[in-house]
Structure 1
Amino acid sequence: MNKQLNFVRDGVTKLPPGFRFQPTDEELVFQYLKCKVFSLPLPASIIPELNFCNYDPWDLPGELEQERYFFSSKEAKYKTGNRINRATASGYWKATGLDKQIISRRNQIAGMRKTLVFHMGKPPHGSRTDWIMHEYRLVTVTNKDCNSPLAKNPIIQNYLNHHMDKWVLCHIFLKKRTKKSTEEEVIQSCCNDNKEVKKTMAVAVHHEPKIFDFMREKARITDVLSSSSSSSSISSSITEVSSIGEENVEESSSCNIVF
């Protein structure tokens, strides 16, 4: 008899060096969740149990940079309703997009994968974060064309539904930003910075004080004074010439009077 391997220590998955847990959707639903729901042996005890609503995503057990998997029991949001509680201390998990159906080979039991995004704050005004959760659950196939007795027997369906409502499997990880999105953010940031710089320069130019150029003004005053002194010299010369002419006229007149 093979002994089941247990890689869970204190609620944290501990794998040997060189090993990574990277299951497909089908493996998670039909090899782990199905076995958990119906109390069957698991391939390996590698997924711990906890209620994800009791933790913010960054406080969950395990490494922050790694993808984490948990079995979580369904907790009703209200006592009289069937809605699942997905609120935490700092925010809430909000569903996005359409659920993905995962069908078993015998078309008897199917899995559904719901994608949720963690939002900080209170709904509906929470702020979106990069924390993502894939929530897997089991459902029964009710296709009328299916020949399986599970799809037609209501007693079996009720039995299955009762057990399937007990557990969900959560895959929680921090979304990695692509290089393209990072470059776009840098470019946008640079554009915003350039806009701020241009705006500041425009304001500075608009309010730029007028600087008095003393050297230029001194040269201009000197030119004015020079031209003024030249004009004064010419005027004085004209005055002197006029005075000499008047004296000569007066002398001539006096001479004429004497004779």
Structure 2
Amino acid sequence: MQPAMELALSDVENLVISVILCLPRVASSLMILPLMTKENVPVMVRNGLYVGLALVAYPIALAGIDVTTVAPASYPLIIIKELLIGAGLGFMFGSIFWALSTAGGIIDTQSGVNMANAMDPVQGHQATPTAVWLSQFGTWLFMASGGFLIFLDVLLTSYQVLPVTSTLSELTFAGASVFISEMDFLMSKALLFAAPAILLLSLIDLGFGLVNRFAQQLNVLPLSMPLKLWVATLTMVLCIGIIMEAILFKLADNRYVLDLLEGALGAR
């Protein structure tokens, strides 16, 4: 009876340690990904999701590995490494959301309504109206198109490509260029999303400026803000198909994000 109880306790101990080692990657990836913020997901639900996904990842991450052979002194290093890998995954998937929010902020700054901030329930911070709208649209498309399933697939597969008990290779410039390229993608997409509206708003400013210069008695400048707001909104509605296509292409490319992370954070 006593040996059987000790064996059962040992199995429980191994399970708890394994889940603890799997948890940081899951938690950090979902914390960076702008979906599970405290404004739209209660803390208990969010933490329960983290633990549930860690339990799902446990058989994949530590299959055939006896965690009791891992030195307890290495646990902090493993946890830090797992946090970095999870943050990298969340950053690669979250860049398209930040691009949408940035584009909305640029458009609202150009149209003059950037002071009308509201809470963005998706990203959990103050944002302009167009930024909130684009952020919510991107989140809806991410969930409706199966993007979250792609994220979960990549997250769970990462435990095979970048094992929990492995160590990271030295970060080189080639590895850092992966994240630099992703930041370049973020900024370039933000400008591309906002470019049509910015062009039209600049033409409106130019036209109203010329009218005000040569016919000051008309006093058309007070009409510029509501007109620019309508034009900006209509332009984004007309461009929504292009934005949707860009989001879907990014989600398709994210299927291969593990190859990039393996090159940047290659485990050994």
TM-score of the two chains, using structure 1 as the length reference = 0.23
As a proportion of its length, which structure holds more helix?
2
Larger radius of gyration: 1
**Larger RCO (CA within 8 A; separation ≥ 6):** 2
Greater per-residue strand proportion: 1
